[in-house]
Structure 1
Amino acid sequence: MLTTLLILGVSAVLFVQGRIRSDLVALCSLLCLIMFGILSPEQALSGFSNSIVVMMVGLFVVGGAIFRTGLAKMMGGRIMKLAGRSELRLLVLTMLVTAGIGAFVSNTGTVALMLPILVSLAADGGIQTSRLLMPMAFASSMGGMLTLIGTPPNLVVNNQLQEAGMEGLGFFAFTPIGLVCIVTGILVLIPLSRRFLGRHDDRAEHEAKGKSLSQLIDEYQIINNLYRLRVLEDSPLTEHPLHDLQIPDLYRVNIVEVRRRHSGRHSFLQTVSQTMAGSDTRVARGDVIYVMGEFEDVARFAREYGAEMINRKTSEDTDSLLKSKLKFDEIGIAEMLLMRNSDLINMPVKSSGLRAKYGVNILAIQRDNHYIFHNLKDVKLQYGDTLLIQGTWTDIARLSEKTFEWVVVGQPLAEASKVTLTHKAPLAAGIMLLMIAAMVFNWVPAVAAVLIAAVLMVLCGCLRNVEEAYRTINWESIVLIAAMLPMSVALEKTGASEAISHGLVVGLGGFGPFALMAGVYFTASLLTMFISNTATAVLLAPIALQSAASMGISPYPLLLAVSVGTSMCFASPFSTPPNALVMPAGKYTFMDYVKVGVPLQVIMGLVMVVVIPLFFPFGKA
C-alpha cells in the first residue's frame, strides 16, 4: 500500500511541476507498478483496451471531421450570433449549451461534439480558446447531474438503493441539484477563467515555407484568367473525351476542372464533385467547367461548343457553399521549381508527361519575374522556371518525392489539411446526429456508436484519408488516460482506497450527519482525482449506505453526496476524460487545472453539503 501511495505522490508532484511531459510521467508510474509487482503486465496494460480510451480515440476522429468539413464553423457561428460581442455572454451560453447536451449524452461525447465548434468559434471571433474549453469540459460534468442517465455514478447509487430494497431515484430526481451545480459553476468560473485562463498565445503558428493558396491565386492572377462555363443540353462536348476534341490546339484554352452536382432524395444531401480535367475526362450536360485562357478565345469556344458563360460574380447554382473562385477540397495548386538536371529542361509543356505520369496540370509559368498564362502547350521549359501546377493533393505530394528534378515549394499535405471540405458538411452532420441518437437511445454500446461514426467519417470522405484521421488524434491525452487508469486498480488491490475512504467516513460519523455527509462528499471528490468516478462510486456507495444505517438516518443524502462528489471533480486533467480531451487544444498545464479546478471543486462541495439535505433530508432511515 505504501509503495502505491508513494508512486502516486511522486507522479502528482511531477504533474504539478510540468517539467516532464504528462504522458511520460504516467508511463513511468505504470512501469513502476509493474516493476514492484503491484500489478501484473496484463493489469497494467488494461487501460489501453479500456472502453473510455478507445472511445476517446474515436471521438478525436469524429471531432476532427466536424472541424474539417466546416460544420463546427457553421454551428459556432450560430452560437456567436446569439452571444454577440460579449465574451461573458459567450462563456455562459457555452456552459448552458454544453450542460444541456451533457444531461442526455455522456460527458466525453458532449465535449467531443463541442470541442471543434468552440475552437472554430474562437478562431473566427478572435477569442482565446483557453478561456472557453476548460469551462466547457467542466459544464459537461455538471450537466450530467441533471438526469439519472447523465453520468454513471447516478446509476451506481440508484442501483445501490434498489439492491437495499429501497425506492429508486426517478429520471429527473437529480435535476434540482444539477441546476444548482450549473449555476454555482457559472458564477465561480466567470472570475476564475478571467484570472487564470487565457494567458497562453493561442494564435496559430504559420508555416514559414511556401505560399498560402490565396497568395498563389493572387500572384498568378488565376481568377482574372479563369472562366466558368455551364454545359448546355445540346453541347457536342458530351460526345467525346476531351483529348479527342483537341480544344487547346483549336481554341488556345485549357479546361482545368469539372464540377458536377449529385442530388439525393433530400436537398440536404446534395453534393458537388470536383474533378480535374484529364485527357479521358467526359463532361455531361449541366456540368460546370473551369476554363483558363483569354476572354475572346474562351467566348469563341463557348459559342461553338454549346456552353454558357457564367457571370464570375455569381455561384454555379443556388448552393451558397459553391463560390465563384476555385475550391480546393480535393484538387489543389502548388508551385514547382525546376532544377538544373531536370529531364523537363528544353521540353515543351505538351511533351512533359506531367499529366500522364503524375496526374497534374500546368496552369501557369513564372519566368524571370514574368508570368506565362496562355498557349502553354508549346512553351519550352527552362531551368529556374516556377510552374503553377494543379492536381489532387495526393498527386502533388507525390511530386515532392522526386527532389533531384524539381522542388515542390511548401508542404502540400499540410496546406490541404487547412482546406475545409464544406461539401461534406451535410454528411458529417448526419453521422454526428446518428451517433448521438445511438448513444441516447442505447441502440448499441456507446463505444461502438463512436467507432462506427469515426469509420463512417473516413469512408464518406469527411476526412481525406485514414492518415488524416490518425493525425486528428492527440496521442498524449490518450496515453495519459490509458496509463493512469490502472492506478485505480493498484489502489483498490492494495486496499489503499478502502482504507482511506472508510477511515475518513467512520472518523467523521461522530460529529453528526452534516459532518458525515461532508466527509463522504470530499472523500469521493478526492479519490476521483486518481480513480475513475464510476469506480469511486462503486467503492463508496456501500460504505455510505452502511454509515447511514449505523447512524439511523436516511441514506439518500449520503448516496447523493457520493454521486455528486465523484462527478464534480475538476482539479486534475486525468480525473475525467473531458478534462483530458481539452488539455491539448487549450494548451493547459497541470497547474491550470489546480488553479481553476481546486477552488471550484471546494466551493461546489461546500454548496452541495448545504443544498443536498434541502432536497433529500436526513430524516429517519
Structure 2
Amino acid sequence: MPFSNIDLASITGWLDSAATQQWIVGILLILLFISFIREWLPVEITALAGTAVLMLTGILTTGDVLSSFANSGPLTVVCMFILSASLERTGLIGDLSKLFNKVAKGREFAALLVITLGAFAVSPFVNNTPVVVILMPIVLAFCRDHNIAASKLLIPLSYATILGGTCSVVGTSTNVVVLGQVQKLGFEGIQMFTVAPMGLIYAAAGLLYLWTIGRKWLPSRPTLSTMLPGGIQRDFLLQVRIPAGSSHIGTTAVDLMQSELLGTKIVEVRRRGFSMQEELQHITLEEGDRVLFLCNARKVNQVREAKGVDLGWDDSRGLEAMEQRDVQIVEGMIANNSEFAGQSLAELKLRQRFNIFVLAIHRQGRNITDMGSDTKLIAGDTLLLEGPQEGMNRILTKQRIIPLSQRSADAHNRSKQGWAILAMGIFIFIGLLGSFEQYGEFFKFFARFNPFYLAFIGALIVVISGCIKPKEAYQSVDWGIIFLILGMLCVGEAMSKTGLAKAIAFGVVDTMGPMGCLFAISGLYLLCSILTEMISNNAVAAVMGPLSYEMALQFDANPLPFILAVMFGASASFSTPIGYQTNTYVYNAGGYKFKDFVKVGLPLNLLLWAIFTCTIGWLYPLK
C-alpha cells in the first residue's frame, strides 16, 4: 500500500509540538488578514474557516470551540442589537429628527453640531451601527430640503457614533469583544463606564476637530439621485387591458412599448391573474392581458390632452384604461446580511417579483447608470429604486435593504415607548452605579451585574413588553458580525492556548522594555489602529485582546491601560471606509470617494493617538 510507510505517530507528534502549533496559528492569522483585505470570501465565512482549520490540525478541541462560542461578548452584542431595534420600533430615536430640524433651521453648521452631538449622546448606550442606519435618512432628507450636500454631514455622523461608542463598554462591539476576551483570561477590572474618562476626553477632541479643521476638509459631493442626468421626475404606475379585437393581439410587449407606450417602461404583464415571468421580448400579447407600465406625469398629461379622456386611451387604440397608481423613487443601501449581496440583477428578477426597477447603482465613489442584467450587487451598494409603494415596502422590509429616504412615523410602536425607556434606564442606571464599586458596599452590590446581564435583562424586557416582536428581534441582529466575532474568538483562543500571544508579548517586551511601559501601550494602540483600517475592527479586537493582557503581565503592569489601547485603537477607524461598518454605510450614501476618508480621517487618527498616549497614564495607573 502506498500509504503503509507513512509514520502517523511522527506526524501527530509534529503537529502536537508547541513550536509547530505556533507556526500554524501565525501563518493562519496572516492568511486570514490577507483574505479580509482581498475579500476572497465574506469575512464571517473566512473567520469560521479559520476555526475549522484549527480544529482539523488538533490545535483546538471541540470543547475549546464551544467555550469560545459561549463567550459573553457576542451574546452581549446580540442583546444590544435587539435593544437598539426596540428604540427604533418605538420611535424614540426617530424623534430626534424633530429636534434636528427644529434646531438646525436649514443651517449647515447648526446641523453639523446637532447631528454629531445627538449621535454622540446616544452611541454609548446603543450599538452605533443602528444609530447611523436610523439617522442617515433624517440627514439625507434635511439636506435635500435645504440644498445642502449630504457629504458635509454623513462622515461626521459616522465619526461621532464611533467616538460616542468609546465612552462605555457596550457602545461598540469592539469593546464588548475585548471585554469578553480578557474576562475569560481572568481579568475582572472593567465595569460599564470604566472607559468613560478616556472616552470623554477622546470624544471631545474628535468633535472639536470635526467642528473646526475637519469641517473645512469635508467634500461637497452629490448623492446618487442628483447624479442622474435630467434629475428625478415623479412617475405613475398605469395598467391597461388588451380588449377583444385589439390590434396588439399577437404582438410582443416590447412592440407595444415602442408604439403606443413610447417613452414608458413596462413593469409587468398579467394573464388570467398570474404575472408572466418571461422576458418582455418573449411575451406575445393575448386578449384580456393586463399591462402595467411606468409613465411620468408629463407623458400622462400629453396623452390626456390629446384624446380628452382620462389617461387618454380609448378603444380605437386597442387599449382600455384600468388603473393608475403613484410610484416611488427611493434610495436604499444593501445591508451586509441582504440576500441581494452577491447576486446579479437578472438573478434577483426585481421587476417580476416586486415591480421594481433599478435606475442606478452607486458603488465606492462612482455612479453606475449603464448596468446590465449581469451586474452583480455587493454589500454597501446604494440603489436608486423605482416602483409602487407595496413593492417598495416589501423590498425594503424583507430583503435587508436599508432605506435612505426618511421613514414614516406610522411604522413606530409608540404606545410601548415607556417600556423601551424603562429597559434602557435600568441598563444605564445599574451600569453606572456598578462603575463606582470602589466607593462602598452599596455600589459594589451593583458591580455584580456585568454588561451581559444588563443587556440580556434589557432585551428581555423590550421583547416581553411588545416593544419589538420576537421575529423582528431575530431580524434586527446582524448575524454576519456575530459569526465573525465567534470565529475570531476561536483564533484568539488558539493564540493563547499555543503560547503564541505570550511569545509575541515576550518579543515586544524585549524590544520595547528599555523604552518603558507607556511606549509599549502607545505602540499597541497604533498597531490596532492601523490594522482596523484594513480589516474588521472586531477581528482586530478578538486577536489583540489576549495579546494586550499578556503584554501587561510581561511588563508586570496594570492590564487596564493595555486593554484600553486595544479598545480605543481598534475603534479608531477614520482613515478608510472599510474598517468600520458605519463608515461603509455613509461611504456610498454620501457619494464619497476613498480619498475623502483619508483626507479627513488620517489627521483625526493621529490626533487621537497623541491624546491617548498623553492621557492614559494620567487617567489610569500604569503599574
* TM-score interval, normalised by the smaller of the two chains: 0.5 to 0.7
1:424 aligned onto 2:425: no
Match of 1:274 in 2: none
Alpha carbons of structure 1 residues 206 and 564: separation in structure 2 relative to 1, 3 Å:
closer
Give the count of matched residue pairs: 447
Match of 2:612 in 1: 608
Measure the CA separation in 1 of the matches of 2:184 and 2:48: 40
Measure the CA separation in 1 of the matches of 2:246 and 2:576: 59
Q: Which residue type is aligned with residue 546 of structure 1? A: L
1:412 aligned onto 2:349: no
Measure the CA separation in 1 of the matches of 2:81 and 2:186: 38
Match of 2:122 in 1: 101
Match runs of 1:461-476 below 5 Å? none
Match of 1:320 in 2: none
Deviations 1:293-327 (A, max 9, x none): xxxxxxxxxxxxxxxxxxxxxxxxxxxxxxxxxxx
Alpha carbons of structure 1 residues 493 and 35: separation in structure 2 relative to 1, 3 Å:
closer
Deviations 1:8-42 (A, max 9, x none): 4544654xxxxxxx585748956985897787999
Alpha carbons of structure 1 residues 192 and 526: separation in structure 2 relative to 1, 3 Å:
same
**Alpha-carbon offset, residue 613 of structure 1:** 2.0
Match of 1:304 in 2: none
Measure the CA separation in 2 of the matches of 1:205 and 1:450: 45
Match of 1:493 in 2: 494
Would the aligned equivalents of 2:181 and 2:489 in 1 still touch at CA under 8 Å?
Answer: no
1:599 aligned onto 2:603: yes
Deviations 1:329-354 (A, max 9, x none): xxxxx422344657899xxxxxxx99
Would the aligned equivalents of 1:367 and 1:386 in 2 still touch at CA under 8 Å?
Answer: no
**Alpha-carbon offset, residue 101 of structure 1:** 0.9
Would the aligned equivalents of 1:524 and 1:562 in 2 still touch at CA under 8 Å?
Answer: yes
Measure the CA separation in 2 of the matches of 1:341 and 1:429: 52
Measure the CA separation in 1 of the matches of 2:305 and 2:224: 40
**Alpha-carbon offset, residue 606 of structure 1:** 1.2
Match runs of 1:29-428 below 5 Å? 33=50, 72=94, 75-147=96-168, 149-151=170-172, 153=175, 168=189, 173-190=194-211, 191-192=213-214, 194-195=216-217, 197-199=219-221, 201-203=223-225, 212=234, 334-339=237-242, 369-372=306-309, 383-389=318-324, 411-413=387-389, 422=408, 424=410, 427-428=412-413
Match of 1:4 in 2: 28
**Alpha-carbon offset, residue 511 of structure 1:** 0.7
1:507 aligned onto 2:507: no
SS in 2 for 1:389: strand
Q: Which moved more, 1:413-422 or 1:136-145?
A: 413-422
Q: Which residue type is aligned with residue 28 of structure 2? A: T
Q: CA RMSD in A?
A: 6.0
Alpha carbons of structure 1 residues 36 and 557: separation in structure 2 relative to 1, 3 Å:
closer
SS in 2 for 1:140: helix
**Alpha-carbon offset, residue 143 of structure 1:** 1.5
SS in 1 for 2:148: coil
Measure the CA separation in 2 of the matches of 1:64 and 1:421: 11
Measure the CA separation in 2 of the matches of 1:434 and 1:555: 38
Alpha carbons of structure 1 residues 142 and 500: separation in structure 2 relative to 1, 3 Å:
farther
**Alpha-carbon offset, residue 120 of structure 1:** 2.9
**Alpha-carbon offset, residue 370 of structure 1:** 3.3
Q: Which residue type is aligned with residue 543 of structure 1? A: E
Identical counterparts, % of pairs? 21
Measure the CA separation in 1 of the matches of 2:187 and 2:546: 19
Match of 1:539 in 2: 546
TM-score, normalisation: structure 2: 0.53
Alpha carbons of structure 1 residues 32 and 400: separation in structure 2 relative to 1, 3 Å:
closer
Q: Which moved more, 1:204-213 or 1:593-602?
A: 204-213
Alpha carbons of structure 1 residues 210 and 337: separation in structure 2 relative to 1, 3 Å:
farther
SS in 2 for 1:187: helix
Match of 1:248 in 2: none
Measure the CA separation in 2 of the matches of 1:154 and 1:30: 18
Match of 1:441 in 2: 426
Q: Which residue type is aligned with residue 441 of structure 1? A: I
Measure the CA separation in 2 of the matches of 1:604 and 1:12: 25
Q: Which moved more, 1:477-486 or 1:180-189?
A: 477-486
Q: Which residue type is aligned with residue 539 of structure 1? A: P
SS in 2 for 1:369: helix
Measure the CA separation in 2 of the matches of 1:83 and 1:391: 32
Measure the CA separation in 2 of the matches of 1:35 and 1:520: 29
Would the aligned equivalents of 2:576 and 2:601 in 1 still touch at CA under 8 Å?
Answer: yes
SS in 2 for 1:146: coil
SS in 1 for 2:225: coil
Gaps of 5+ in 1: 15-21, 217-333, 346-352, 402-409
Measure the CA separation in 2 of the matches of 1:36 and 1:148: 31
Match of 2:582 in 1: 578
Alpha carbons of structure 1 residues 128 and 500: separation in structure 2 relative to 1, 3 Å:
farther
Would the aligned equivalents of 1:142 and 1:181 in 2 still touch at CA under 8 Å?
Answer: yes
**Alpha-carbon offset, residue 100 of structure 1:** 1.0
Q: Which residue type is aligned with residue 337 of structure 1? A: V
Measure the CA separation in 1 of the matches of 2:191 and 2:75: 27
Deviations 1:49-104 (A, max 9, x none): 966997899799889979xx9985x6435313323444233223322211111122
Alpha carbons of structure 1 residues 103 and 423: separation in structure 2 relative to 1, 3 Å:
closer
**Alpha-carbon offset, residue 604 of structure 1:** 0.8
SS in 2 for 1:121: helix
Would the aligned equivalents of 2:506 and 2:554 in 1 still touch at CA under 8 Å?
Answer: no
SS in 1 for 2:199: helix
Alpha carbons of structure 1 residues 368 and 344: separation in structure 2 relative to 1, 3 Å:
farther
Would the aligned equivalents of 1:487 and 1:531 in 2 still touch at CA under 8 Å?
Answer: no
Measure the CA separation in 1 of the matches of 2:616 and 2:215: 27
Deviations 1:417-469 (A, max 9, x none): 599774615x345567755754563576399579959x977999xx9xx9xx9
Match of 2:520 in 1: 516
Larger Rg: 1
Q: Which residue type is aligned with residue 203 of structure 1? A: S
Measure the CA separation in 1 of the matches of 2:526 and 2:199: 18
Measure the CA separation in 2 of the matches of 1:39 and 1:134: 43
